[in-house]
Amino acid sequence: MKYLKNERGGKPLIITVVILCVFFLISGVATVYFTMKDRNLKFSEEVVAEATKVAEAELAKVFAVTEKYPFEKRFEAIQSIGYREPKEGEYAVFTFEKEYDEDDEFYVILKMRPHKTEKNLSIINVAVFDKKSGSRIIEKNNVLKWETSENE
């Protein structure tokens, strides 16, 4: 009670504010550092070429399932080629992560969003990441045309 009436008792508040300012300053510097570190990461031509092959192979698998599945079953189609259940993001962007083995050097994220004008089209984005650093190596985009169901 005596501290509540003490008009000169601002020391704990000042100490708390200084600690919070130092914490925010350190976290800001760390964020900038790790962002710049990821941008400056360069991969060898062999790694980029191999990652490109992986991305193109994944796109080929996705194109193959579009011939077998209608638009309404597009999530099942993507899961049939080894991707996990989608996570719905902003603006109906669905994110799938490839299930991979421990000895794989890459991991793949596939994002699918609806086309703005056509119902049976989806815009697909395949990104290949380095497993060790978590940095994106390559990204490929394309448009998928799904089969339409018979009742349309």
Q: What is the pLDDT of residues 2-36, one digit of tens each?
A: 555 556 667 888 888 899 999 999 998 888 887 76
What's the number of domains the chain is made of?
A: 2
1 domain-assigned: no
pLDDT of residue 23: 93
Q: What is the CA radius of gyration of the chain?
A: 24
49-70: average pLDDT: 85
Clarify whether residues 120 and 141 are in a common domain: yes
* Residue entry with tokens 């925010």: 24
CA distance 101 to 12: 52
In a domain, 27, yes or no: yes
Strand order in the sheet with 136-145: 87-88, 94-97, 106-114, 121-130, 136-145
pLDDT at 145: 81
104 and 51 assigned to the same domain: yes
**Residue 152 belongs to some domain of the structure:** no
Q: Could you tell me if 15 and 79 lie in one domain?
A: no
Co-location of 29 and 83 in the same domain: no
* Same structural domain, 61 and 96: yes
pLDDT at 88: 61
Provide the whole-model pTM: 0.59
CA 128/CA 104 separation, integer angstroms: 12
> CA geometry: angle at 127 spanning 125 and 130, to 5°?
175
User: Is the Cβ–Cβ distance between 98 and 109 less than 8 Å?
Assistant: yes
Report the pLDDT value the prediction gives residue 26, as an integer from 0 to 100: 93
Task: Tell me: do 28 and 48 sit in the same domain.
Answer: no
34 in the same domain as 48? no
Cβ-contact 97, 112 below 8 angstroms: no
pLDDT at 90 exceeding the cut of 50:
no
Domain span holding position 101: 43-145
Q: Are residues 15 and 62 in the same domain?
A: no
Is the pLDDT confidence value at 151 over 60? no
Name the pLDDT band for 152 (thresholds 50, 70, 90).
very low
Note the pLDDT of residue 146.
77
To the nearest whole number, what is the mean pLDDT of the chain?
79
